[in-house]
Copies of this chain bind each other. A is one copy, B any other.
Amino acid sequence: MDRSLSKAERTRKFIIESTAEIFNKKGYAGTSMSDLTEATGLTKGSIYGNFENKEEVALAVFDYNSEKVKNLISEQISRAASYHDKLMVYAKVYKNVTKGFITQGGCPILNTAIEADDTHNLLKDRAAKAVIKWKKSITDLIEGGVAAGEFKQDIEIPRTALSIIALIEGAVMISRVTNDLGAMDKILKTVEAVIDELKVA
């Protein structure tokens, strides 16, 4: 038991962790309070003692889920030597992680973006911010590679960054809905080709 956290903080964390997968699979509208009590073994009173309402749980869960993906990726990026290899982490991570990822409901950013874009502004904003941060991190890596002389000078950086994200998220959608991991592999090959294309001749 983590004594650095108060009881309330531990319970909050416990609720978030035990419902993270449910929200990611069923979405905000599709997840009910009884789903949460069932998954946690807690009562409604306890959940409402730690969160104001269902919305607040969903927001905390989104933060938790997207943070988890982010940490996994940035840890690997820090280990890669070249800018090329750092960018390749995206392709590699999604190739390896996909199986587990896929059983946990897919990409939380994609899921939340699609559900919330016409229905829930707070969740939409979080998903939008996550996409923008992701774009910036790719942009930074490309700029780093250009400055280091590793990449060409005339790259259309925003277009490249956005295209990589689109390819990956599109790949998650396609491979999950068609139950076809091969589709993921093929599309990630295109991501790799896009990244290879950046290198100086």
Contacts and interface: CB of A to CB of B under 8 A. Distances in A.
A71 B167 CA distance: 25
A161 to B, nearest CB: 9
Interface residues of A, number: 46
A25 B166 contact: no
A25 B116 CA distance: 9
Interface of A: 25-27, 29-30, 105-106, 110-111, 113-119, 124, 127-128, 131-132, 156, 158-160, 162-163, 165-171, 173-174, 176-179, 183, 186-187, 189-190, 194
16 contacts: A29-B30, A30-B115, A30-B119, A110-B114, A114-B115, A114-B173, A116-B177, A117-B176, A124-B177, A128-B177, A128-B178, A159-B186, A159-B189, A165-B174, A166-B168, A168-B170
